[in-house]
Each structure stands twice: as structure tokens, then as C-alpha cells.
Amino acid sequence: MLNLERLRVLHAVSSTGSVSGAADLLHVTTSAVSQQIARLEREIGQPLVERRGRGIRLTEAGTVLAEHAGRLLDEVERVEADLAGRRGAVVGQVTVAAFATAARGLLPAAMRELRAEHPALSVRLAELEPPEAIPALRRGDVDIAIVQDWPEAPLELPDGLSRQALLDDLFDAVLPVDHPFAARETVTMADLAAEEWISWAGGQICYDWLRQSLYGSGIRPNIAHTASEHSTQLALVAAGMGVAILPKLGREPLPDAVRAVELRPKLGRQVYALWRATAASRPAIAAVVGTLVSVAKAVAPPG
């Protein structure tokens, strides 16, 4: 009979593409991974991996078995979730992956509330951007992922994931306090067309979204400075080096030399919680998602 834990190891090798990646995912040594693969090969009487340069790749038999292993592991998780649902106890550990502003703006309050209401539940945070968080969720490395969906770049989800909308996160223009528009209640992108812009670093989804938004408004932006950290962008705005737009969620206090002005028409992104459908009946998953929804309603900026 095939050993489930060895199948889990093979699936991890397939998912990560390497023995070291599987070892990191499963929190074991590379030697332990290699030993489990070797034992699995002896069990089925066929080679499952083969050398390729300095790495390895799955054989045809290994690929077939890894695909079956994925389905078996999904079914095992579904069974475990159903049994946990019958117990009804909110216990165990749930790891939540979240991008930076959601990690700052949602998770501390949610984790505090969950600790008070469910002391037998341990919630852990991993700060990951959606391109990292979604594969980690599919692999089972995290249990819930908080991700962002942009109008210009709709989120494409792989099969097997469930989603729950949390909030619409709106953006403001942030301007130096002595800027001519700093005293306004609202400002348009066209108003800021001639400004020097401070943006996220090239290649980040926020950078691409900003450029698309500006080009969509007929603006050919002069992006003078780039910085990944919002605190750095705010410091540059405070120094009079340009203007920026920043989300409301998780925003740190503005420097005295900076003013936030609402954008019209509104610009924003949608924030979602994702989890594996096979784990949907786990009371712990339901508790965390429900608390995230509650906290999101409390912190959601007024539209």
C-alpha cells in the first residue's frame, strides 16, 4: 500500500520543482526528502525522478503519481475538514498570507479578536504578495491568502480556491502641504498631469496599475522617483519631490508636510480572502474568514 506521507513528499517535489524546495515546504531536510522518494520508488518498482544537470525532474511515472497524489491529498484535506466541522471546535493553526498594506491594516485587529474569542486557535501571518501567496495557498503552505484585484488586471484564480470579498480599498492623491491643490477636497488625475510622479518600483503590479490609470486618463506621466515602501514615497512627497497616490488601507500617519486629497473619479482595488475549497468546512477557516470580514467592515474607508 502506498504511504501517504511519501506521496506528500513527491507532490511537494512536483510543486516546487526541486528537492530543496520540497524540504523547505515540508520543513524537513533534503536528505529526508531524498530518502522518502527512494522508498516510494522501491514500493512501486519504478524510478520517479531523474537527474537533470544539478537538479532533478520527475519521470513519466513520477508525474502521473504526483498528479494522483495531489488529488488524494485534496481528498484527505476534505475528509479532515469534514471531521473537524463535525467536532465544531475552532482549534489548531491557520497561516494567513497577506500583502503588506493588508497585513498592516487588517491582520493585527483580526488576530487580536481571534485570540480573545478562540484561545485554542493559533493564527500566524506571512507577508506575501499575491503572485507568491496564491501558489503557496495551492501547495498548502498557507491556509488563507489575502489578495488584491485591480480593475485593469483582474485576478485570475486557479481551480479549487474559494473567495470572499473583504473591502474596496480607495486611493488618495498625496501632495506636499504647500501644493496649490493641497487645500482642495477632491482632485482629478488630469489636474496632476504636469506633475512629477513618485511611484512604486517598476515591475510591481502597483506601478503597472498607476501607469495604466494615468495613460487611461490621457496623461503621459513623468515618473521621477520610484520606491517600494509607502513611507519612502511619503518622505519624498514631504520633501517636495513630486506627488503620489496611495491606498487608504494600512496607511501610516501622514507627515505634517503632506496632505491627502480624494481622487475623482474614484480609483481603487478590491481586497479578497482566498482559501482552498477542500478546507472550507474547517471551523478554523470559517472563523478566520468571518473575523476578517468583520474587521474589514470596521476599517473600510468611507467611499
pLDDT at 235: 95
Measured CA to CA, the distance from residue 212 to residue 219 in angstroms comes to: 10
Mention every residue, 6+ apart, whose C-beta is less than 8 A from residue 213.
152, 189, 267
- Check whether domain 168-268 has CATH 3.40.190.10, yes or no: yes
Contact 137, 277 (CB under 8 A): no
- Do the domains spanning 4-85 and 90-165+269-299 agree at the CATH topology level? no
Joined grid coordinates for residue 267? 480609483
Joined grid coordinates for residue 65? 503519481
Q: What is the dihedral of CA 245, 133, 78, 288, to 10 degrees?
A: -50
pLDDT at 110: 97
Ranges of each domain in the chain: 4-85, 90-165+269-299, 168-268
Q: Which amino acid is at 270?
A: Q
Reduced to 3 states, what is the DSSP secondary structure of residue 156?
A: coil
Q: Are strands 121-127 and 92-98 parallel, antiparallel or unpaired?
A: parallel
- Check whether domain 90-165+269-299 has CATH 3.40.190.10, yes or no: yes
Burial of 253 (0-12, 13-18, 19+ CB in 10 A): exposed
Give me the architecture of the 4-85 domain, per CATH.
Orthogonal Bundle (1.10)
Reduced to 3 states, what is the DSSP secondary structure of residue 204?
A: coil
Measured CA to CA, the distance from residue 8 to residue 30 in angstroms comes to: 14
Residue that has been written with the C-alpha cell 501632495 in this structure:
175
What is each CA distance from 36 to 6, 45, 60, 63, 125, in whole angstroms?
6, 14, 18, 16, 30
Instruction: Judge if the upstream peptide bond of residue 135 is cis by omega within 30 degrees of 0.
Output: no
Q: What is the dihedral of CA 209, 210, 213, 214, to 10 degrees?
A: -150
Buried b (16+ CB within 10 A) or exposed e, 126-164: eebbbebbbbbbbbbbbbbbbbbbbeeeeeebeeebbbe
Burial of 40 (0-12, 13-18, 19+ CB in 10 A): buried
Q: What is the mean pLDDT of each run of 10 residues along the chain (303 residues)?
A: 80 84 82 85 86 80 84 74 67 93 95 94 93 88 91 77 93 95 92 88 67 69 86 95 92 93 90 92 92 92 55
pTM, two decimals, is: 0.75
pLDDT at 301: 56
